[in-house]
C-alpha cells in the first residue's frame, strides 16, 4: 500500500485519508484482516498530526470498514459470516445503491442506462483489483441449472449474464473467457453449453461459420448474432505517441500489449501483421498476453503499455482514445439440442428482447442491426 499522496486544501485532511483507505480496499491493495499502519508512524510519514490519523481511523471504524483490536492496532474488517451482521451490511449496501439509483433516474437516465453503466463499471473495477483466484466450477454432473459459457470476452456477455440472472433465479450463467477458438473447442468437447466467437476466415472474410464446419462435424449448430462491434487500436488519451495503425507497432518506443493465443482478436491482429508484412518479433510486447479487452485497456490506462488491440467499448470504459480498424461479428454458438432445453432457451429470448438491445445500443462501437438473428448450420 502506497502512502505517498498529496493532500489538497479543498477538504478536511482526515476525510481525504478516509477516502484514500476506502480506495485501497476497493482496489484490493488492502484485504480483510490486513493491518493498517500505526497512527504515529503514518502521521510521521505524511507529516500530519497523529490526531488527524486517529480521527480518520475512528470514522472508518464507525462505518465498519476497519476494526480496532486492543493492544494490536487497526485492521481491515474481516469477512463477515454472522447472519445477522451480514443482513445489516446488505441493508446498508442497499441504501447506498438506492441513493445512487434515485439520483441517476432523477437525472433523466433510464433503467437500461443504469444497468449498462453499472456492468461496465464493475467490469472495470474487476481489472483494477488485485487478482483473486476463483475456484473452477465442477460441471462433472452436467448440472442443467448452470449455463456454461466459454469463449471470447465482451462486455455484452457480462450484460447477458446479468440480465439472465434477473429472469432466471433458479439457474446461473457461468462465464469463462478463454478466447474464440478455445470456446468452440470447449463446445465441441461438451465442456461448454454456449460459445462466443468472432473468428474471421482469412480466405472468405466470413465470420465463425467456416470454423464451425471444420471443428464440429455431424452436428446441428445454432448461430445467434449477439452484435457487430468495432475493433481497433486502444491508446492513451489524446494519442500522445501518434499511433495511427499497425505499422506503428514496429517503432521501438511503442510498447504493445497482446491478447492470448486462440482469441479472435489475436487472430485478427496476426492477420493484420501478415498483410502489413510485419514480423511478430518486431513488435515490442507481442508476447505479453491478456485474456480480456478490459485487461488490455486497463494496462494502457495505468501506463503499463502504449497500445493494444481491442473493442471500442473497452476503450470507452477507461476513457482512452480509440483508433477504429474494422467491424466484426460476435456470435453466440450452441448445439440445437441444447438450446431446445430449459434453462438454455431463455438465452435466445433475452438476446432478442428490446430491453437487452437498448442496453447494447447505449455502448459505443456496438451495432445491433443483426442482433438476435439466427442461422442453423448443418455440419
What is the per-residue pLDDT for 139?
A: 42
Tally of CA atoms within 13 A in the half-sphere of 238 that contains its CB? 1
Give Cα separations from 214 to 132, 217, 220 (angstroms).
Answer: 36, 7, 13
Question: CB count, 10 Å around CB of 267?
Answer: 20
Per-residue pLDDT of the chain (379 residues; tens, 9 = 90+): 566 667 777 788 999 999 889 888 877 788 888 999 999 989 899 989 989 999 999 989 888 889 888 778 899 988 765 566 566 667 777 778 888 888 888 888 877 677 767 776 666 566 555 454 444 444 444 445 789 999 998 889 988 988 887 776 677 889 999 889 999 999 999 999 999 999 998 889 899 999 999 999 999 999 999 999 999 999 999 999 999 999 999 999 999 999 998 888 998 899 899 999 999 999 999 999 998 888 899 999 999 999 999 999 889 888 899 999 989 999 999 999 998 887 788 899 999 999 889 889 888 889 999 999 999 999 8
CA nearest neighbour of 188 among 211, 157, 165:
211
pLDDT digits (tens, 9 = 90+) for 29-85: 888 889 999 999 898 999 899 899 999 999 898 888 898 887 788 999 887 655 665
Question: Nearest 5°: phi and psi at 195?
Answer: -115, 155
Chain segment 5-20, per-residue pLDDT in tens: 677 777 889 999 998 8
Which burial class, exposed, middle or buried, applies to 124 when counting CB atoms under 10 A from its CB (0-12, 13-18, 19+)? middle
Distance CA 317, CA 333 (A): 27
- Secondary structure (3-state) at 10: coil
CA 248 to chain centre: 27
What local confidence, expressed as pLDDT, does residue 134 receive? 42
Note the pLDDT of residue 127. Answer: 56
Distance CA 317, CA 296 (A): 12
* SS percent in the chain: helix, strand, coil, step 5: 45, 20, 35
Question: In this predicted structure, what is the pLDDT of residue 68?
Answer: 87
Q: Are the C-beta atoms of residues 229 and 366 closer than 8 Å to each other?
A: yes
Cβ contact 198:333 at 8 Å = no
Residue 195's CB: how many other CB atoms inside 10 A? 30
CB of 130 within 8 A of CB of 155?
A: no
What local confidence, expressed as pLDDT, does residue 24 receive?
A: 85
Neighbours of 279 (CB within 10 A): 10
Contact in structure between 310 and 296 (CB atoms under 8 Å): yes
The answer to whether residues 331 and 226 touch, using CB atoms and an 8 Å cutoff, is yes
- Helix ranges, 47-142 (H): 50-62, 83-106, 111-128
Q: Decide: 117 and 364 in contact? Cβ < 8 Å.
A: no
Residue 61: Cβ within 10 Å count: 14
Angle between the N-to-C axes of helices 111-128 and 83-106, in degrees from 0 to 180, rounded to the nearest 10 = 120
CA atoms within 13 A on the CB side of 296: 34
C-alpha cell at 136: 473452477
Beta bridge pairs of residue 151: 177, 196
Q: ∠ at Cα 223 (220, 229), nearest 5°?
A: 160
CB distance 167 to 350 below 8 Å: yes
**Cβ atoms within 10 Å of 213's Cβ, excluding its own:** 15
Q: Please give the pLDDT value at position 27.
A: 73
Amino acid at each position: 500500500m502506497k502512502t505517498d499522496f498529496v493532500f489538497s486544501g479543498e477538504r478536511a485532511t482526515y476525510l481525504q485519508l478516509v477516502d484514500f483507505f476506502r480506495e485501497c480496499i476497493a482496489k484490493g491493495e488492502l484485504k480483510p484482516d490486513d493491518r493498517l499502519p500505526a497512527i504515529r508512524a503514518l502521521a510521521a510519514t505524511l507529516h500530519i498530526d497523529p490526531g488527524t490519523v486517529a480521527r480518520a481511523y475512528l470514522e472508518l471504524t464507525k462505518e465498519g470498514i476497519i476494526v480496532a483490536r486492543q493492544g494490536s492496532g487497526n485492521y481491515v474488517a474481516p469477512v463477515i459470516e454472522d447472519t445477522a451482521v451480514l443482513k445489516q451490511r446488505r441493508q446498508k449496501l442497499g441504501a447506498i445503491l438506492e441513493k445512487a439509483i434515485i439520483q441517476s433516474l432523477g437525472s433523466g437516465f433510464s433503467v437500461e442506462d443504469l444497468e449498462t453503466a453499472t456492468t461496465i463499471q464493475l467490469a472495470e473495477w474487476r481489472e483494477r483489483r488485485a487478482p483473486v483466484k476463483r475456484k473452477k466450477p465442477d460441471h462433472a454432473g452436467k448440472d442443467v441449472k448452470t449455463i456454461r459459457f466459454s469463449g471470447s470476452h465482451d462486455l455484452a456477455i457480462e450484460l447477458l449474464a446479468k440480465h439472465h440472472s434477473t429472469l432466471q433465479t433458479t439457474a446461473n450463467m457461468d462465464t469463462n473467457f478463454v478466447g474464440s477458438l478455445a470456446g468452440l473447442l470447449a463446445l465441441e468437447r461438451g465442456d461448454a453449453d454456449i460459445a462466443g466467437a468472432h473468428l474471421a476466415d482469412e480466405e472468405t472474410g466470413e465470420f465463425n461459420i467456416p470454423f464451425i464446419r471444420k471443428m464440429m462435424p455431424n452436428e446441428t449448430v445454432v448461430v445467434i448474432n449477439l452484435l457487430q462491434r468495432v475493433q481497433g487500436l486502444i491508446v492513451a488519451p489524446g494519442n500522445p505517441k501518434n499511433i495511427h495503425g499497425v505499422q506503428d507497432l514496429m517503432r521501438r518506443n511503442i510498447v504493445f500489449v497482446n491478447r492470448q493465443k486462440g482469441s479472435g482478436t489475436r487472430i485478427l491482429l496476426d492477420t493484420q501483421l501478415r498483410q502489413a508484412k510485419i514480423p511478430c518479433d518486431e513488435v515490442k510486447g507481442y508476447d505479453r498476453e491478456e485474456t480480456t479487452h478490459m485487461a488490455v485497456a486497463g494496462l494502457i490506462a495505468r501506463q503499463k503499455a502504449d497500445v493494444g488491440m481491442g473493442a471500442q467499448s473497452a476503450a470507452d470504459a477507461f476513457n482512452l482514445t480509440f483508433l477504429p480498424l474494422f467491424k466484426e461479428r460476435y456470435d453466440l454458438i450452441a448445439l440445437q439440442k441444447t438450446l431446445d432445453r430449459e434453462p438454455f432457451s431463455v438465452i435466445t429470448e433475452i438476446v432478442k428482447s428490446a430491453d437487452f438491445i437498448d442496453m447494447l445500443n447505449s455502448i459505443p462501437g456496438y451495432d445491433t442491426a443483426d442482433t438476435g438473428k439466427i442461422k442453423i448450420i448443418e455440419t
